[in-house]
């Protein structure tokens, strides 16, 4: 009996199914069959198309990174502070992040990693960091970093730019041609002021020699001041043999300096009045130390009097911490004299 019921139920169901199908056929074909039976009547929007289009037209991560604002990134870093410190060796809940951009994954000494990160990446390039920080658990399943992620790409670019300058060694990313637009615009300015650029360091050269011979110093008030400075900061002078550095600046190619400038532009602008994380750099060579209106200097810098001569800049840029202990420019310094010279030549040529 049970079997019959089951078979009966099955047949009934089949019948209803077939009838339903037949009825449906009838309804769909009332418009007249022109052989397109298998075409879908409705295309359902999944939203995939739109998503794809957005990715195509929006700026790439690289473009955002090159134009990133480290100042804004510093604010986003507040989200990380509960677990991460920037100081080298200072591990907390998370590893210290000093110099993390370009660092090997999982390499902070003394930190006990989960192993999930090194399983998916070797080096923290800006791109890898961006992918990780967008969705940590998605990027590195099993990671012990309990953080939801920074969803906005521009926020990540700013944040990574901020992290990048902690060690004074910025990471170069390959940039699509469109993002380099600004470069040609700056070049004409360089050319027109080339003559002046080489004149100014010549003065400093004279000034440096003045330290040795008095007569030259009395010729020009400008060199007087520089000469006095020279005597005041022994270490700066000791760095270079008299006159040596100014000559290097005079001989340097501002175009090389423009590349070095990339390490500064996250915090400094060349345009007069355009203060960022640091004060603007318009006319920096020959400008009084700590003199930009509207910029809040640290006491360390404000208390220094004197002028940013090529030699002073040289000493400052080599090691900002040693030059003015307690200052708030978080930049490790430029080790190579040729980089400092080219950079100063560049800032000088861009100033006018
Ligand atoms: C709740 C604590 C916490 C927060 C908040 C947090 N992290 Fe982490 N982070 C960790 C831990 C823990 C690890 C180690 C993960 C592992 O080993 O899987 C880590 C690892 C990392 C690493 C890998 C470092 C290395 O040496 O390989 C980077 C980079 C990083 N975090 C950046 C950030 C940034 C940037 C933020 C803020 C946007 C942030 N984290 C927020 C806890 C945190
Ligand atoms: C992380 C941000 C940051 C980076 C990168 C940076 N600076 Fe600075 N810079 C500052 C801040 C902040 C100050 C102000 C320091 C203070 O008041 O103690 C400053 C001050 C200066 C001053 C003194 C200006 C004045 O008006 O007296 C000079 C010169 C300077 N920076 C040049 C440079 C150059 C050149 C580079 C690149 C090689 C560079 N900085 C990189 C943040 C930065």
Ligand 2 binding residues, C-beta < 6 A: 70, 165, 263-264, 266-268, 277-279, 284, 289-292, 297-298, 300-301, 308, 313, 316-317, 327-331, 334, 343
Atom of ligand 2 nearest to the CA of 326: 18
User: Mean pLDDT lowest for which of 41-45, 74-78, 95-99, 170-174?
Assistant: 41-45
What dihedral do alpha carbons 327, 330, 332, 338 form, nearest 10°? -80
Between the CA of 189 and the centroid of ligand 2 the distance, in Å, is 23
Backbone φ and ψ of 124, nearest 5°: -80, 80
The pLDDT-based confidence of 35 (bands split at 50, 70, 90) is very low
The residue contributing the CA closest to ligand 2 atom 38 is 264
The predicted-structure confidence for 281-291, as pLDDT tens digits, reads as follows 999 999 999 99
| Nearest ligand to the C-alpha atom of residue 158 | 1
The residue contributing the CA closest to ligand 1 atom 5 is 80
State residue 1's pLDDT score: 61
Q: Which domains are seen in the chain, by residue range?
A: 53-178 (1.10.760.10), 183-351 (1.10.760.10)
Provide the token pair at 212. Answer: 């040795």
Atom of ligand 2 nearest to the CA of 291: 26
Q: Of 260, 257, 292, 262, nearest to 278 (Cα)?
A: 292
State residue 182's pLDDT score: 44
The residue contributing the CA closest to ligand 1 atom 6 is 80
| Nearest ligand to the C-alpha atom of residue 298 | 2
Backbone φ and ψ of 297, nearest 5°: -80, 160
The predicted-structure confidence for 98-156, as pLDDT tens digits, reads as follows 999 999 999 999 999 999 999 999 999 999 999 999 999 999 999 999 999 999 999 99
| Nearest ligand to the C-alpha atom of residue 93 | 1
Q: Which of 83, 89, 111, 119 to mutate to test ligand 1, by most ligand atoms within 8 A of the CB atom? A: 83
Between the CA of 74 and the centroid of ligand 2 the distance, in Å, is 15
């Amino acid at each position: 009996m049970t079997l019959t019921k089951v078979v009966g139920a099955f047949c009934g169901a089949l019948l209803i199914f077939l009838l339903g199908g037949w009825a449906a056929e009838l309804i769909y074909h009332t418009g007249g069959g022109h052989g397109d039976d298998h075409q879908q009547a409705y295309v359902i929007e999944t939203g995939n198309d739109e998503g794809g289009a957005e990715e195509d037209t929006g700026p790439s991560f690289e473009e955002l990174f090159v134009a990133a604002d480290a100042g804004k990134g510093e604010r986003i870093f507040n989200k990380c502070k509960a677990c991460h410190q920037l100081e080298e060796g200072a591990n907390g809940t998370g590893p210290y992040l000093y110099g993390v951009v370009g660092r090997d994954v999982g390499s902070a000494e003394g930190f006990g990693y989960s192993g999930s990160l090194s399983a998916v990446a070797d080096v923290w390039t800006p791109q890898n960091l961006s992918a990780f920080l967008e969705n940590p658990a998605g990027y590195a399943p099993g990671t012990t970093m309990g953080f939801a992620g920074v969803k906005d790409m521009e926020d990540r670019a700013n944040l990574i730019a901020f992290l990048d300058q902690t060690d004074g060694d910025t990471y170069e990313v390959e940039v699509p041609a469109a993002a380099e637009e600004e470069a040609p615009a700056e070049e004409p300015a360089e050319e027109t002021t080339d003559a002046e650029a080489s004149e100014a360091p010549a003065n400093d050269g004279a000034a440096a020699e003045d330290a040795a011979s008095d007569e030259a110093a009395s010729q020009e008030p400008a060199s007087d001041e520089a000469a006095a400075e020279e005597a005041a900061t022994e270490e700066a002078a000791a760095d270079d043999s008299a006159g040596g550095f100014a000559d290097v600046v005079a001989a340097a190619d501002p175009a090389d300096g423009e590349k070095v400038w990339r390490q500064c532009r996250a915090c400094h602008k060349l345009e007069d009045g355009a203060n960022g994380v640091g004060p603007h750099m318009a006319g920096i060579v020959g400008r009084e130390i700590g003199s930009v209106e509207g910029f809040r200097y640290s006491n360390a810098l404000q208390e220094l009097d004197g002028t940013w001569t090529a030699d002073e800049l040289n000493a400052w840029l080599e090691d900002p911490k040693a030059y003015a202990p307690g200052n708030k420019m978080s930049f490790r310094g430029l080790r190579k004299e040729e980089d400092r010279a080219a950079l100063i030549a560049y800032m000088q040529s861009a100033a006018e």
